[in-house]
């Protein structure tokens, strides 16, 4: 930990001179993290040298140090250890330096070095490919800060529940790896939360097979919820759609967002759809439309209306899906509109 008491300290002239020699924008550092320049000890030349050794050019070194100036407060030994650690999952130093340029803060967090190392080994043993582990290191670095026992515990809880719900031993590894690659943040949850949420679904009459189906559809996000919020969301949907418990269950299986989103989010999205003239009956028929934000729905309705497609009398399926899915649907409606109507009984003009 570094001192951030700036009142009585002056900037370290040696640090500033060394940064200038590497073409680093000092003003940027003063604006973002001026406290770095006040530290008595810094390793500017050494860290710059290590980055160059890895293949970074002068511009890259300057960019890295401007984005993450606290890098210069780490000893060369710490950075070389981190370099060796990331090389366990990087193809080569070219890939490594590219990652450091994009995610310097993830690389220069050396405080949890031993935990990071143990977790990398654990993920490799689990069967995660190195390219997935590098993605985790950069986009979800906090999962490596956990002691490895904590991550093992969560994985064991998932494995046990998967088998208890009727999943097969043969498919378990694939299921776990897929779940992790979709949402590594499930490792930040407590094992007890996972257990409680699964029990909540079972108490609400979801069969084991249906619970497994929901887990796969929700990409592990269900573990970031709690039974209270899920209960409120389900009750809200039941009242809005005026349906029985069994019908509600089918709606949730069709659209897990009814379980995942909080009541205020569902309310706002529902209101947005109703304002566009869409009926509750239409939404009940295609609940997946609630997975989209109000802005996306408005944009898509506007585009379809320009083609003369009336969403109020039509099916909401055309609004659904990812951006790519919608573009495909839009393209089909557009080409249908532009295609000339062929009359099979009209006489074919023949020249004499």
Cα gap 21→9, rounded to integer Å? 23
The pLDDT assigned to 193 comes to 86
The pLDDT assigned to 224 comes to 79
345-352: average pLDDT: 53
Residues 266, 258: contact at Cβ < 8 Å? yes
Query: What's the whole-number average pLDDT of the chain?
Result: 89
Cα distances from 351 to residues 319, 343, 348, in angstroms, run 47, 20, 10
The pLDDT assigned to 108 comes to 96
Which of 195-199, 293-297, 326-330 is the most confident on average? 293-297
At residue 13's C-alpha, the angle toward residues 7 and 16, to 5°, is 100
Angle between helices 113-126 and 130-139 (to 10 degrees): 140
For residue 5, pLDDT beyond 80: no
- More confidently predicted of 318 and 80: 80
The pLDDT assigned to 351 comes to 53
The pLDDT assigned to 28 comes to 95
In the chain, domain spans: 11-110, 226-335
Cα gap 44→53, rounded to integer Å? 14
For residue 34, pLDDT beyond 90: yes
For residue 203, pLDDT beyond 80: yes
For residue 136, pLDDT beyond 80: yes
DSSP state of 129: -
Cβ count near 264 (within 10 Å): 9
Q: What digits encode the pLDDT tens for the residues 100-112?
A: 999 999 999 999 9
The pLDDT assigned to 190 comes to 84
Q: How confident is the model at residue 337 (pLDDT cuts 50, 70, 90)?
A: confident
Q: What digits encode the pLDDT tens for the residues 251-291?
A: 999 998 898 899 999 999 999 999 999 999 999 999 999 99
Three-class SS string for 38-95? HCCCCCHHHHHHHHHHCCCCHHHHHHHHHHCHHHHHCCHHHHHHHHHHHHCCCCCHHH
For residue 143, pLDDT beyond 60: yes
The pLDDT assigned to 132 comes to 94
For residue 213, pLDDT beyond 90: no
Alpha helices (runs of H) in the chain, residue ranges in sequence order: 13-21, 26-33, 44-53, 58-67, 76-87, 93-102, 104-107, 113-126, 130-139, 148-164, 169-182, 191-203, 208-217, 227-241, 245-254, 257-260, 263-275, 280-285, 294-306, 323-338
Angle between helices 113-126 and 169-182 (to 10 degrees): 140
Closest CA to 287 of 256, 255, 265: 255
3-state secondary structure of 11: coil
Dihedral (CA of 306, 312, 317, 320) sign:
positive
Cα gap 66→314, rounded to integer Å? 54
The pLDDT assigned to 232 comes to 94
């Amino acid at each position: 930990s570094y001192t951030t008491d700036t009142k009585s300290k002056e900037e370290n002239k040696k640090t500033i001179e060394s940064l200038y020699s590497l073409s680093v924008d000092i003003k940027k550092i003063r604006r973002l993290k001026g406290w770095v320049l006040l530290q008595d000890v810094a390793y500017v030349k050494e860290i710059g040298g290590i980055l160059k050794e890895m293949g970074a050019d002068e511009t890259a070194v300057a960019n890295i140090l401007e984005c993450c100036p606290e890098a210069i407060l780490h000893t060369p030994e710490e950075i070389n250890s981190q370099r060796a650690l990331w090389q366990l999952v990087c193809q080569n130093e070219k890939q490594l330096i590219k990652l450091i340029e994009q995610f310097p803060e993830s690389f220069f967090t050396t405080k949890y070095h031993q935990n990071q190392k143990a977790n990398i080994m654990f993920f490799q043993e689990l069967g995660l490919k190195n390219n997935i582990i590098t993605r985790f290191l950069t986009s979800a670095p906090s999962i490596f800060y956990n002691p490895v026992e904590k991550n093992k515990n969560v994985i064991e809880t998932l494995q046990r529940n998967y088998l208890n719900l009727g999943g097969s031993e043969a498919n378990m590894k694939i299921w776990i790896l897929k779940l992790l690659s979709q949402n590594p943040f499930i490792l930040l949850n407590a094992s007890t939360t996972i257990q409680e949420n699964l029990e909540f679904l079972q108490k609400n009459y979801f069969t084991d097979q249906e619970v497994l189906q929901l887990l796969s559809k929700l990409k592990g996000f269900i573990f970031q919820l709690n039974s209270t919020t899920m209960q409120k969301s389900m009750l809200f949907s039941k009242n809005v759609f005026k349906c029985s418990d069994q019908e509600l269950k089918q709606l949730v299986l069709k659209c897990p967002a009814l379980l995942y989103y909080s009541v205020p989010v569902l309310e706002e999205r529902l209101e947005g759809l109703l304002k566009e003239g869409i009926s509750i009956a239409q939404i009940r028929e295609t609940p997946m439309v609630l997975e989209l934000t109000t802005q996306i729905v408005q944009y898509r309705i506007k585009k379809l209306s320009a083609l003369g497609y009336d969403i109020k009398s039509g099916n909401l399926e055309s609004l659904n899906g990812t951006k790519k899915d919608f573009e495909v649907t839009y393209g089909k409606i557009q080409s249908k509109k532009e295609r000339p109507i062929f009359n099979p009984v009209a006489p074919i003009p023949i020249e004499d």
